[in-house]
Structure 1
Amino acid sequence: MRAEGDAASRLRITCVHQGFELYGSDRCFIETVRTIRAAHPTARIDVVLPRRGPIVAGLEPFANDIVIAPLWILRRKNLARLATLGLLTLPIAIIRALRRIRASDLVYINTTVVADYLLAARLAPGRSIVHVHEIPEGVVLKVLRGLIRWSGANVVFNSRATERTYALPHGTTARVVYNGIAGPAEPNRPAYDGSRPLRVLMLGRISRIKGQDVLVEALASLPEPVRQRIQVRIVGSAFEDDAREQALVKRIAEAGLADQVTLAPFVADPAALYRWADVVTMPSQRPESLGRVAIEAMSYGVPPLVTAIGGLPEVVEAGKTGWIVPSGGPEPIAAVLADLVADPARWRDFGRAARARYESLFSEASAAEGIEAIVRTTLRRPRATDAARAADVPARPAA
């Protein structure tokens, strides 16, 4: 940890995140905190997390303090509990968040599901930024859009698809900033010529959104001679949903794919997997706000195969840096996989083009410029005085 020094003379920044693992949104959070630290090297930066986990080690070089505190997080799995007994804890959570916001010059809230901080942000205006990484649907979208509008926070969208989904009113201070990702110094060299099985990688949490089951069905639908020329690695775990993982294991066995498909748990550093892969796929069946895995693949010079949903078409240039297919079933994915093994020469230059697209749109430098621009805007924004409220809620951070 950094020495605290004279805290009163320094900019105080709080960064709040709903996760604790090292999946895409977690790594994005680390990269944003690193960006803020690089732009404000003398600031005091406190990070608030709901619990300890693998993310902590990645944050420690950039944070003065990592605070583990209860957060009122809107998760689909817990909505029924939050709407009943959880409401009893919400006022306390808002007060806790408000104290920390008032003690900060800037509060960066990563994702729209951190409800207590978004609700509290309206009571200490001019200090908060919310970074939107989700494309929800139906009632959830209405709730999250309402939270953002209520908060009055400045907004960062991670894609134009995300911005269109929320359709915030004119006058909202908002900016689209593609996730900036630290890629390797050198990309992979094209290695697939058809003389060995095509290596297909899928990374991500096992869920109905990501489409692991669709990828398995696509492979199962291929003729046996084609199937034998493809090797698939599915890497990731379900979040508190063992039944979903077991169902995937069962389906792989039933389809006779044990020799072609390998399931592996989440890994903190996927670099070796990207070095192994010829193609990375995101067969998502619900909107992805952007598609971090596809971007990471392109940084390694690995072309992505993605569905035409959410922000994924903003990442991949179809027919040049990868492939975009319709969502909704395994047939389009199966067709592309069959074409890839049939004619490797036709897509040999895709990896080189993918790396060039990553460097021009998704590098750390381009993202850092966008994040710092909205940080400067927020720090310059006039604030309503909090003096009248200070008697009710002491302006000191809660541990």
Structure 2
Amino acid sequence: MTSIDHPLHVLVAHPSADLYGSDRVLLETVQALLERGHRVAVALPRPGPLVDELIRRGALVEFCPTLVLRRSLLSLSGLLRLAGEGVYGFWAGMRVIRRYRPDVLYVNTVAVPLWPLLGRLSRVPTVTHVHEAERHTPRRLQLATALPLLLADRIVANSRFTADTLAHVLPALRGQARVVYNGVPGPAGPRQARTALDGGLRVAYVGRLSHRKGPDLAVEAVARLRERGVAATLAIVGAAVPGYEDYEHALRSRVRELGLGGEVLFHGFQPNPWDILADADAAVVPSRLDESFGNTAVEAVLACRPLVASSVPGLREAAGHYASAQFTAPDDAAALANALERVAVDWEHFRAAAVADADAALERHAPHRYRHSIAEVIAGTAGPRRRR
């Protein structure tokens, strides 16, 4: 039960219309609110595959240009764009709030810093859900994303590492964030991996095609395995961040340079990763930089597939409980290859461990747990204002 007994109007602010990690968590949040009879509208800056999923669940969608913090805005020309986008986004957001008149504003990331300010100016109780924990970014960008949190009525963090990072960036936020782990839906019917690795080890990478996510490390690892005489192939699922397509071009060129055109297949963006994971023997999450949590790591475990991930705090917090998971030093293709070779050599052990881990992950990351917790936070934020 929620902390109030009548429906709320909830306005959700989100920076993209994709279907990656934080986008899928947003769907779980929206589902939680709709199941409790609340009315939900989601403000997005542009169309995308997320829109159909939101409408299918029963949410309204408002297209509202807004300022989205990006590293490219740190240049002189970027600062000019930031000012323009900020002014335009401010008035566009105010129009949406005045039209919808929400009881609660739910901001699903720190990348849209105007929305907590709009909530405060409009006297709408605001919940900000933090999915980012990037201590490697420039200090001024970290502060730019953390300062608007001082305007939020409540803060939710997707991991302890995220909450600790907020306190590290801005000590005033210490102890202010409630940790709610992501709910990660598993496949409808998880299939155990094949009993024998006929034809070699099939490896899957699912995620953005970007330097920080490290799919190039997976390519290099497969090349090293084949040099050692260990047969292996790689399925790459995902697309480049808009504006960073050069990375994907370079990645494809490297595959051709290594002579892996038949062993490394690009599948592009896929809204459903389960078919790819079901066809794989193992999954990799080779992030070079900090991750706040790691939905793709949990998805690999839910799919009954051994996991090799970078040893960064968020990924360890997400998947460090599982015997079928191995962690390697970030930005180390040789270590990634070694871990994958261990999977191939001791396949029977890793296959059995992955089955047991999937059962544990189904309980630990059950979506109903997440939905209950996030709905309570949002309803509890609205309650005091309604009573006043």
* TM superposition score normalised by structure 1: 0.87
2:66 counterpart SS class? coil
Query: Aligned residue for 1:158?
Result: 158
Q: Percent identity?
A: 29
- Residue by residue over 1:353-382, the C-alpha shift from the partner in whole angstroms, topping out at 9 and shown as x without a partner, is 221231222110111122022113212244
Deviation at 1:68, TM superposition (A): 0.9
Structure 1 Cα separation of the partners of residues 233 and 288 of structure 2: 22
Query: Aligned residue for 2:3?
Result: none
**Residue 364, structure 1, aligned to residue 381, structure 2:** no
Task: Determine if contact 1:216/1:252 at 8 Å carries over to the other structure.
Answer: yes
Which one of 46, 49, 57 corresponds to residue 52 of structure 2?
Answer: 57
2:172 counterpart SS class? coil
Query: Aligned residue for 2:15?
Result: 18
Structure 2, unmatched stretches of 5+, are 1-5
1:143 aligned partner, one-letter code: A
**Residue 142, structure 1, aligned to residue 137, structure 2:** no
Residue pairs, 1:194-213, within 5 angstroms: 194-213=197-216
- Residue by residue over 1:292-314, the C-alpha shift from the partner in whole angstroms, topping out at 9 and shown as x without a partner, is 11111222222221111131001
1:23 aligned partner, one-letter code: Y
Structure 1 Cα separation of the partners of residues 59 and 157 of structure 2: 27
1:129 counterpart SS class? strand
Structure 1 Cα separation of the partners of residues 376 and 163 of structure 2: 18
Residue pairs, 1:72-221, within 5 angstroms: 72-80=67-75, 81-101=77-97, 103-125=101-123, 127-136=125-134, 137-139=137-139, 140-149=141-150, 151-167=151-167, 169=172, 173-221=176-224
Structure 2 Cα separation of the partners of residues 243 and 182 of structure 1: 32
Deviation at 1:114, TM superposition (A): 0.8
1:70 aligned partner, one-letter code: P
Deviation at 1:281, TM superposition (A): 0.7
**Residue 296, structure 1, aligned to residue 299, structure 2:** yes
1:202 aligned partner, one-letter code: Y
Residue pairs, 1:300-315, within 5 angstroms: 300-315=303-318
* TM superposition score normalised by structure 2: 0.89
CA RMSD, aligned part only? 2.3
> Relative to structure 1, is the Cα distance of residues 368 and 318 closer, same or farther in structure 2, using a 3 angstrom cutoff?
closer
Deviation at 1:124, TM superposition (A): 3.8
Query: Aligned residue for 1:392?
Result: none
Deviation at 1:92, TM superposition (A): 4.4
Structure 2 Cα separation of the partners of residues 181 and 292 of structure 1: 7
1:235 aligned partner, one-letter code: V
- Residue by residue over 1:67-104, the C-alpha shift from the partner in whole angstroms, topping out at 9 and shown as x without a partner, is 11111111223444452143144244224434544621
Alignment size in residue pairs: 373
Task: Determine if contact 2:306/2:351 at 8 Å carries over to the other structure.
Answer: no
- Which has more helix, going by share of residues? 2
**Residue 280, structure 1, aligned to residue 277, structure 2:** no
Structure 2 Cα separation of the partners of residues 189 and 214 of structure 1: 26
Query: Aligned residue for 2:274?
Result: 271
Residue pairs, 1:35-50, within 5 angstroms: 35-39=32-36, 41=37, 43-50=38-45
1:368 aligned partner, one-letter code: R
2:211 aligned partner, one-letter code: R
2:236 counterpart SS class? strand
Structure 1, unmatched stretches of 5+, are 1-8, 386-399
1:48 counterpart SS class? strand
Deviation at 1:384, TM superposition (A): 12
